[in-house]
Amino acid sequence: MVALSRLSAPRSPSYLLPSLLALALFTLLFLYKVDDFVTSTKTMAGHNLEPTPWHIFPAKSFDDETRQSRAYKIIQCSYLSCPYFNRSIMKRPRFQTNKLAAQCPEFFSHIHRDLAPWVKSGITENQVMEAKNFAAFRIVIFQGRLYLDPYYACFQSRMMVTIWGFIQLLRKYPGMVPDVDLMFDCMDKPILNRTERQSNPVPLFRYCTTREHFDIPFPDWSFWGWSEINIKPWSEEFPDIKKGSQAKRWAAKQPRAFWKGNPDVVSPVRLELLQCNDSRKWGAQIMRQDWVQEAREGFEASKLSNQCTYR
Ligand SMILES: *[C@@H]1O[C@H](CO)[C@@H](O)[C@H](O)[C@H]1NC(C)=O
Ligand SMILES: *[C@@H]1O[C@H](CO)[C@@H](O)[C@H](O)[C@H]1NC(C)=O
Ligand SMILES: *[C@@H]1O[C@H](CO)[C@@H](O)[C@H](O)[C@H]1NC(C)=O
């Protein structure tokens, strides 16, 4: 990044660093919880730290409709809106494995690492069914079409937006997405301990994992937008941040590292970070994000594009 900004214009203000800081904040937002020690760690809409099951997926009521339209709606899809699909899009070429593997970009090495526990044994149906015990939903992709089995309600709009991501993937790469059967949990904390489950690894997807867990990481859903906390889809949010970062000249920005987030999330690293809040000694400003207050005020003060005032 530094090299890039030097190449383009050595003296002109660079939006890259503020954008990076904003991006870091964005990532931290993803792991947010509300400052509430008394009733353990809670978010506005419940808590997303405990393992699933959290609460059963609520059944939709169709009582107020005619039987015919009710049946039609249930068949269409009960929980997510998919009012119609375009048959000509559905007719897609069969999945082709040729050439693709040879051209995999470098980041595929991470996928190989994440799936390493199953490289020799393969994934058995029993293992997938065991993963179901921890899953909030199951996604099956068969011949380019997505099938969903929701088990438990997910935190805020996580499930909907995650599935939306899969649908975009299918749209964008017709005929290139192979048949898969995925169990998915949407709470933050990984739960499948590698030491304890060494003999029988369980393949479960979620947004976070560690080296000590089998949980398979999946991209952060909020890049497709997080309406509850005023984060737009990344394609809109990113230009906004870029624009925000240009509002102040580079030289006029405050010369310090800036971090804003919720430290009360059972994370020792974040608690340690609080001790670095000294702009003279460390050149750092560490700010506490109060989600309850932000929620009350419509998340105006936590707008990412307004926080590019540091260099
Ligand atoms: C369905 O998809 C095809 C191919 O993308 C497109 O040409 C056509 O206009 C679409 N039909 C409708 C009704 O949207
Ligand atoms: C995994 O399980 C082992 C054995 O019970 C335990 O010592 C270890 O702390 C656990 N790891 C995590 C990350 O919970
Ligand atoms: C860090 O210092 C700033 C400036 O003194 C202050 O406004 C802020 O509340 C401090 N952050 C924390 C987490 O105490």
Pair (76, 216) in one structural domain: yes
Q: 277 versus 12: which is more confidently predicted?
A: 277
By the 8 A CB rule, do 237 and 243 touch?
no
Asked if residue 208 is part of any domain, the answer here is yes
CB atoms within 10 A of CB 126: 10
20 with 28: CB under 8 angstroms?
Answer: no
pTM of the model: 0.68
pLDDT for 79 = 44
d(CA 15, CA 245): 5
Our answer on whether the CB atom of 86 is closer than 6 Å to any ligand 1 atom is yes
Cβ of 193 below 6 Å from ligand 2: yes
**pLDDT tens, 46-81?**
456 665 555 665 555 556 556 656 555 555 444 444
User: 224 φ, ψ to 5°?
Assistant: -90, 5
pLDDT greater than 70 at residue 231: yes
Domain boundary among 167, 197, 228: 228
Task: Based on the fold, state whether residues 98 and 181 are members of the same structural domain.
Answer: yes
Same domain, 92 and 223: yes
Whether residue 135 is found in the same domain as residue 277: no
For residue 92, what are the domain limits?
67-228
Task: For residues 83 and 180, state if they share a domain.
Answer: yes
CB 161 within 8 A of CB 224: yes
Q: Which of 172, 201, 228 is the last residue of a domain?
A: 228
175 falls in which pLDDT band (50, 70, 90)?
Answer: confident
Element (H, E) at 111: helix 108-114
Using an 8 Å Cβ cutoff, are 108 and 100 in contact?
no
Domain count, the chain: 2
Claim to verify: residue 224 and residue 267 sit in the same structural domain? no
Q: What is the mean pLDDT of the chain?
A: 77
The yes-or-no verdict on residue 250 having pLDDT over 90 is: yes
Contact 127, 117 (CB under 8 A): no
Q: Are residues 223 and 245 in the same domain?
A: no
Which atom of ligand 1 is closest in space to residue 86's alpha carbon? 1
Does any domain span residue 13?
no
Ligand 2: centre distance to CA 84 (Å): 47
Is 19 inside any structural domain? Answer: no
Q: Is residue 205 part of a domain?
A: yes
Task: Out of 176, 206, 228, pick the residue that ends a domain.
Answer: 228
- Let me know whether 248 and 196 are in one domain: no
Q: Residue 148 region, left (φ>0) first, then alpha (ψ -120 to 50), else beta? A: beta
Measured distance CA(232)–CA(226) in Å, rounded: 6
16 falls within a domain = no
Do 133 and 179 reside in the same domain of the chain?
Answer: yes
Q: Could you tell me if 239 and 209 lie in one domain? A: no
Looking at residue 160, its pLDDT comes to 87
* Mean pLDDT, rounded, for 209-235: 89
One domain, residues 248 and 161: no
DSSP state of 72: H
Distance from residue 79's CA to the centre of ligand 3 (Å): 44
Dump pLDDT digits (tens) for 149-162. Answer: 988 888 888 888 89
Confidence of residue 5 (pLDDT cuts 50, 70, 90): very low
Flag whether 154 is in a domain: yes
Separation between Cα atoms, residue 102 and residue 242, nearest integer Å: 36
pLDDT number for residue 153: 83
Please determine, for residue 2, whether its predicted confidence score (pLDDT) is greater than 50: no
* φ, ψ dihedrals at 269, nearest 5°: -65, -40
- Cα–Cα dist 149/102, whole Å: 34
pLDDT at 11: 46
- Ligand 2 center from residue 114 Cα (angstroms): 19
